[in-house]
Amino acid sequence: MQIILVTGGTGLVGKAIEEISSKYNYKFIFIGSKDCDLTDLNDTRRFFIKIQPDFVIHLAACVGGLFKNINYKVDMYEKNIMINHNVLKVCHELKVSKVISCLSTCIFPDKTKYPINETMLHCGPPHSSNDAYAYAKRMLEVHSKAYQSQYGDNFICVIPTNIYGPHDNFSLEDGHVIPALIHRCYINKQNDEPFVVRGSGKPLRQFIFSIDLARLIMWTLTDYEERESIILSVSEKDEISIKDVAQSIADAYSYGENIQFDTNFTDGQHKKTADNSKLMKLNGDFSFTPFKEGIQRSVDWFIQNKVVCRK
């Protein structure tokens, strides 16, 4: 049986792939930072040689929310550069058949026309709030295409929009917007205090439920035959404001009348609408989880796992 090695396998998307893995005829191996230090080339090489993967789904990254991106730029840049360099280099050395690497729409140019598509990734600088992380991730695509060009390696990148779901990092300071708000609303309700959301609530985002992304990554591995990057996202019509995100979370807790917005905090980039027309052309029958359903499932999971989850 062919082996799929999933880096970042203990994180949000890795756990989602694990949840659906029984539907596929592969041996999956999921690894986290405790299994292998991907910032160390020798450790990465030793581990991959031991596993001998046929395919690699590369999810591992140093990630965080808006304020981690602003305050820890060196970490966000250097750690991601090292991880990506080592994974691709070793995959090339071992002649891995296909590598799917995960980028993010947050790395697209700040000043651009919308919706953004796959050809626009390098057409201007990213937003200053996450530039260090964005440039490191952009170099992952450059590096993948360099291996394509020089060696013919089947290394491609997928570009999901904002991901949410069970097994996320629910840290109040370092988590992404949805898990951080899920955690904050839980605390606020427990203390019978207002549910305070940082910023105005006006920015717009496209969110994809982690299980949906897992299914699309497996489709990319098994059925996507192009070498160009592809955006994995809900449609533009499903874009939603942070205000409505917060309302959906509060409603899931039956706490919907207690929201306040703290405009002393920056909003970050107002919008970064992604064009999923390429995905829909190739996989138009794909059905996305409705947002409110995904939020309810995420809230329920957090409540059940709040003692042991990342936070």
- Residue-wise pLDDT for 277-308, tens only, equals 999 999 999 999 999 999 999 999 999 999 98
107-110 long-range contacts, Cβ below 8 Å, gap at least 24? 107/133, 107/134, 107/135, 107/137, 107/138, 108/272, 108/274, 110/269
Peptide bond into 115 cis (omega under 30): yes
What H or E segment, with its residue span, contains residue 249? Answer: helix 242-252
- 135-178 per-position pLDDT tens digit: 999 999 999 999 999 999 999 999 999 999 999 999 988 778 89
- 40-70 per-position pLDDT tens digit: 999 999 999 999 999 999 999 988 777 787 8
The residues near 153 (Cβ < 8 Å, ≥ 6 apart) are 91, 92, 96, 99, 147
- 252-281 per-position pLDDT tens digit: 999 988 899 999 888 877 878 999 999 999
Residue 192's pLDDT is what?
A: 94
Ramachandran quadrant class, 197 (left: phi over 0; alpha: psi -120 to 50; beta: rest): beta
Whole-angstrom Cα distance, residue 56 to residue 147? Answer: 15
Please provide the CATH number assigned to the domain covering 3-164+206-236: 3.40.50.720
Token duo for residue 302: 């957090």
Residue 280's pLDDT is what?
A: 96
- 171-205 per-position pLDDT tens digit: 988 778 899 999 999 999 999 999 999 899 999 99
Which residue numbers are catalytic? 133
> For the whole model, what pTM was predicted?
0.93
